[in-house]
Structure 1
Amino acid sequence: MMINKRTLRQVVVFVSVASTICIVLFCQTSTWSFHTDACVCNCAMDSEGLLWFSQRYKPSANVTLNTKNSPLDFHTYWWWKSLQNESTVADYKKVVEVLFSLFPDKDHYSDTSPSRCRTCAVVGNSGNLIGSHYGALIDSQDFVIRMNEGPTKGFEQDVGSKTTHRVIYPESAVDMDETTHLILLPFKILDLQWLISIFTTRHIDLTYMYVKPSVKADRNKVMILHPAFMKYIYESWLQSHGGYPSTGFISLIFALHICDEVSMFGFGPTKDGVWHHYFDDFSSDSNGGPHDGGSEGEVIAQLHQKHRITTYKGWE
């Protein structure tokens, strides 16, 4: 009888330890495969959500451009080139050479691990931020990603004051302080040339419209989104709907690749269904331009429903 009890205790301990090891290994595998850090700070996604996410998310995607990953395959190059017509197209390879003689030439944010828990706020420019009082919550995140000209001064209570990354293209560029990473979203080779120009000769002040010939920013914090990353978002996440993804949607998928918990603020209409910026009264149409706002909205809703992101609408 004593032997049986002791044996039983040993079996119980063994099963308990073995179960714990299996759970830890499963969590680590899930974390590494899907970049969700499931066991550390994003634990709510169920198996159905993981399947949906894994069908769209590509862990091996080249997120930012560098010398090593800069060669573009035929299909990527022509898809990227088709986004905007350029009357004169420079030699892409030579432009890349100059780029990375000026800016950091490395694989940014390749520090994924099961123990990392990086929180990020992706802050759009919707008028639903007005009166939201989200400022403190936004500023509490490790990274705060803003886009285009979205200001903070005068709106701190609702949008926060912290900006670690700002996603821009030449036509939407603004000055930024030394704490902010300039993230270029290049729609054409001329955009890459403009980036070089604003830190050197400052001679490019016209694309299809007037652009700033100089931008205040830290050269050592410049990053460039990879054209292949833009194509991957368009094909894998949007199923090729619309002309190409919006800056806001690209910023969201960028956050999913460099962060472990993602919160979205300032996307969508106001409570009254009006689409406008929090910093002006200009109204817009959610499906205006080359972007498929409906498809982007459906993906965002799914990401929220499956607990991969948290969305804040301003009135809830």
Structure 2
Amino acid sequence: MHCKRKICLCALLCGILFVMIATQTMHRTNFLPIAMAALLPVGVAMPAGTPSEVTVELDGVSCGCETCVADLGQSEWFDQHYEPQQQPFLTAQNTSLPALTLKWWMRLQRSTGETVEEVLEKMFQVISSPLPDWPPRQDRCRTCAVVGNSGNLLGSKFGPLINSHTTVIRMNKATTLGFEEDVGNRTTHHILYPESAVDLPPGVHLVLLPFKLRDIQWVVSALTTGEIKSTYMRVKNLVKADKDKVIVVNPTFFKYTHDKWTEHHGRYPSTGMLALIFSLHICDEVSVFGYGADQKGNWHHYWEKNKLSGAFRKTGVHSADFEMQVIKKLAAEGKIKLHTV
């Protein structure tokens, strides 16, 4: 009897040693749950909550890049602001908004008529629900270029570098025609709202920033009947875009950006700030271009000559100066690469 116990104890110790060796040599795979299952008697289920098809982070590395935005424990400041569990966009399975989010979001710009639930239900009858694949994975490396519209891009010759990223995010009225050498010509995600809408080429994700419920109603209309022709101003009533590639940023993500990143500076974050924080949650390495003033301190778009330099710094709605402080801090903490000339 004692001999049998010794044999069982020896087998158990060997099994534990096997798992320890496996976790060291295969630390970037899903090996741990498999090894645990191998030690259990036949017919005994894995403990509740044990991961079976998700990446197990044993060494803290969250992606397959040389550096990963989502890795925590490297910057105390970043860890205090970044919330990995935030869901950056809506899917058909996560349309429920928390009460505090709903109250804050609905007060940004007044909306009347249908309820949020009714609007979202109609939206997902028109657009495809995107896959909830934003969390990082150790078997992929998503490099992203977030391209702002600042005049500081002129003469930069950043075009080839921007194009080299797997994901290229542009926003609002951004144009590339005639500026390819400085801004590139690839776009995978174009962030906009009704008042800044443009037609998009096939294959480009339309990423809607819904500042109000009317914006979600508009995107449904703009992709179908074109009946909505105005919000608080006249807007483009029909938009050319791929219905299967429409992404709607989660209003809860708006509030998170406002609370944690811009810290209530301004009434709500700017498009550029939302685009950047959005990229921190869907990308593994983030490079930022075209943010801030130009070399002479002027704030204007690279495709126009704006004589009213500085007009966009403080609009009463956003705080461009504070947002630039946050962007520079992200760069200083090694979480983004901020490209300037």
1:295 counterpart = 2:298: no
Secondary structure class of the residue paired with 1:55: helix
CA distance in 2, matches of 1:225, 1:165: 12
Q: CA deviation at 1:288?
A: 2.1
Q: Which amino acid aligns with 2:189?
A: H
Give the equivalent residue in structure 1 for 2:118. 94
User: TM-score scaled to structure 1, two decimals?
Assistant: 0.86
Kept in 2, the 8 Å contact 1:121–1:265? The answer is: yes
Residue 68 (structure 1) aligns with: 93
Offset of residue 312 of structure 1: 1.0
**Contact kept? 2:65, 2:142, Cα under 8 Å:** no
The alpha-carbon deviation at position 45 of structure 1 amounts to: 10
Find the counterpart in structure 1 of residue 52 from structure 2. Answer: none
CA contact (8 A) 1:135 1:159 kept: yes
Aligned to 1:8: none
Instruction: Provide, for residues 180-223 of structure 1, a one-character-per-residue CA deviation record: whole Å limited to 9, x for no partner.
Output: 10000001111011001011111101111110010111111101
Larger radius of gyration: 2
- TM-score, structure 2 as length reference: 0.80
Unaligned runs of 5+ in 2: 1-19, 29-55
Structure 1: gaps (5+ residues) = 1-16
Paired with 1:263 and 1:28, the residues of 2 have a C-alpha distance of 27
Q: Judging changes above 3 Å, is the alpha-carbon distance between structure 1 residues 226 and 174 closer, same or farther for their aligned structure 2 residues?
A: same
Q: 2 CA distance for matches of 1:143 and 1:22?
A: 32
Partner AA of 1:135 in structure 2: G
Q: Identity over aligned residues, as a percent?
A: 43
Instruction: Specify whether residues 48 and 257 from structure 1 end up closer, same or farther in structure 2 by C-alpha distance, changes over 3 A only.
Output: closer
Question: Within 1, Cα distance between the matches of 2:91 and 2:145?
Answer: 25
**Aligned equivalents of 1:200 and 1:40: distance in 2?**
40
Choose which of 56, 76, 80 in structure 1 pairs with 2:81. 56
Shift of 1:29: 4.3
Q: Is the 8 A contact 1:46 1:306 kept in 2?
A: no
- Larger RCO, structure (CA 8 Å, separation 6 or more): 1
Contact 2:262 2:322 in 1 (8 A): yes
State the Cα distance separating 1:22 from its structure 2 match: 9.2
Is 1:85 the counterpart of 2:110? The answer is yes
2:238 aligned with 1:235, yes or no? no
| Aligned residue in 2 for 1:31 | 61
Residue 9 of structure 1 corresponds to which residue in structure 2?
A: none
CA RMSD, Structure 1 to Structure 2 (Å): 2.4
Residue matched to 2:17: none
The structure 1 residue matched to 2:215, chosen from 191, 197, 205, is 191
1:12 is matched with none
CA contact (8 A) 1:104 1:221 kept: yes
1:40 corresponds to 2:65 = yes
Q: Is the 8 A contact 2:70 2:84 kept in 1?
A: no
